Amino acid sequence: MLDQSTRTAILELHERGHGSRNIARALALSRGAVLGVLRSRSAEVPPLDRAEQAEPHRQEILELHARCKGNLVRVHEELVLAGAALSYPALTAFCRRHGIGHEPAKPAGQYHFDPGQEMQHDTSPHDVELGGRLRRVQTASLVLCHSRMLFFQHYPTFTRFDCKVFLTDAVRYLDGCCATCMIDNTHVVVLHGTGSEMVPVPEMAAFAERLGFGFQAHEKGDANRSARVERPFYYIETNFHAGRKFEDFDHLNREAVIWCDKVNGTFKRHLRAVPRELYASERSRLKPLPLWVPEVYALHHRIVDIEGYVTVHAHRYSAPYALIARRVEVRETKDEIQIFEGPRRVATHRRIVGRDPGRTTLAEHRPPRRPPGQAGAALTAPAEEHEILRAEPELAEYVIALRTRAAGRGTMALRQLLRLVRDYPRGPLLEAVRAATHYRLYDLERLERMILRNIAHDYFPPPPLSDGTAADDDKEPDDEG
């Protein structure tokens, strides 16, 4: 079929007095085609008046399309079972021409952003060769809409904690932030609602307010609104990830920062500028970071298990063995696992990201091994023993013998002896201990009665007798008195 420009040329040449043969020869057309245009006397291309194979089944197609939930494969199967001689391509072409199940494409919009007006954040899953195997990771990206400065990192998952860690690193890399952070309707930030009616999670709203920006979600289905951050994901996948191998997440994210520095300093044809040069003019319009940006951490409460470990995300980290069965506070930061007993930090581990579950043990968290030849000796001296010997060094022999005969580590017996040291005078105490050592007496209740006997005359004088005379000082009091 001749197009409109060719038909116009035929009519114009005919008006100049040229015959159909000359026109056909000049335009390399058949004489019949030229005569057909001349008979129509119109440059408009006539519409095709051709019957469609699917037209007799139009109503049936509409009903099946609704019943089969828009699945044209099932619609075609049902039509064939009903006896329709219709191919699947003919069905899809008919539906496409008549708008059955197909919405016409909408023109893409264009957005203009002033310096410091908006930044966009989103995530996308990618496959990366990590530690010798292909792994699915979450790539988080942030882009300044005016200058197109790009920053991205990778995470095994993307939780609310990971989101706060990433945004903190991003604004530090950019040395500021825009007033608005555009996101999709992700559950990591969104509490409820979509688009302009989105309400962020209070935790994330407070985090954004501390850094000086606010979250805003684009309308559902309006993907063009976040095109600034969506566009670089394909470039990251086909350039940064392509052909590169990484040891772990630390190596992967270090290389990502180096790549961002390189890309942000490269001339962009669609911008006709270098992002870093545009950023130089935009930087003064960014909101400055607060004087102190606190470290992001996730808080966990754990009880140290019988083996002396706390578990965070299936990985076990050692704690001081003295805290076994005690409740501790665990703070998970970007790089560390910090264990607190009350307000004091008692252990720090390097945070393990993306590895199989395992253990991380620090040597100082385990009791020292028993010296050779002292298999029966206690592993460590209790604190009560140190305090007794610090107050009364002469009790060392008695303390060692008492621990040997006491149950377990002898802690309860040492606590009772420490009470005697604190409560009674030094002289009567040492006299009673020397006698107990001589007779190998380690019953601390009897030792206390011996001390009381030694101090009875000095601190508890006997009452006067009935005749008014004092009792005999040399008379030994009853053992139970």
Q: Domain range for residue 24?
A: 4-40
CA 37, CA 24: separation in Å to the nearest integer? Answer: 11
Say if CB 220 and CB 131 are below 8 A apart: no
Does 189 lie in the same domain as 90? no
H or E element at residue 230: helix 227-235
- The DSSP bridge pattern shows strands 245-246 and 118-130 to be parallel
Does 154 lie in the same domain as 29? no
Tokens representing 175? 């040395």
Instruction: Supply φ then ψ for residue 352, to 5 degrees.
Output: -95, 125
Q: What is the pLDDT of residue 469?
A: 57
- Classify residue 384 by burial, with Cβ atoms within 10 Å: 0-12, 13-18, 19+: buried
Q: What is the pLDDT of residue 110?
A: 75
Residue 466 lies in a domain: no
Q: Which of 368, 362, 364 is nearest to 318 (CA)?
A: 362
CATH number of residue 157's parent domain: 3.30.420.10
Does 63 lie in the same domain as 33? no
Does 86 lie in the same domain as 28? no
Does 62 lie in the same domain as 36? no
Residue 47 lies in a domain: no
Does 175 lie in the same domain as 27? no
What's the total number of domains in the chain? 5
Residue 50 lies in a domain: no
Tokens representing 136? 């699915």
Residue 292 lies in a domain: no
Does 423 lie in the same domain as 322? no
Does 215 lie in the same domain as 169? yes
Q: What is the pLDDT of residue 462?
A: 65
How many residues make up the chain in this entry?
481
Q: What is the pTM of this model?
A: 0.62
Residue 372: CB partners within 8 Å, gap ≥ 6? none
DSSP secondary structure letters along 360-415: E--GGGSPPPPPTT-TTS-SS--HHHHHHHHH-GGGHHHHHHHHHHSSTT-HHHHH
Rg (CA), the chain: 44
Does 217 lie in the same domain as 147? yes
Tokens representing 203? 């935790």
Does 242 lie in the same domain as 314? no
Does 193 lie in the same domain as 342? no
Does 69 lie in the same domain as 218? no
Q: What is the pLDDT of residue 471?
A: 53
Tokens representing 124? 């996308």
Residue 260 lies in a domain: yes
Reading the chain (481 residues) residue by residue, the pLDDT tens digits are: 788 888 899 899 889 989 989 988 988 989 888 898 888 888 888 876 667 788 888 899 999 888 888 888 999 999 999 888 889 998 898 888 888 887 777 766 678 899 999 999 999 999 999 988 999 999 999 999 999 999 999 999 999 999 999 999 999 999 999 999 999 988 899 999 988 899 999 999 999 999 999 999 988 877 778 888 988 999 999 999 998 999 999 999 999 999 999 999 999 998 899 999 999 999 999 999 999 998 999 999 999 999 999 999 999 999 999 899 999 999 999 999 999 999 999 999 999 987 778 899 999 998 876 555 454 444 567 788 888 888 888 888 999 888 888 877 788 889 999 999 998 888 889 999 999 998 889 999 999 999 898 887 776 666 666 655 555 554 444 444 3
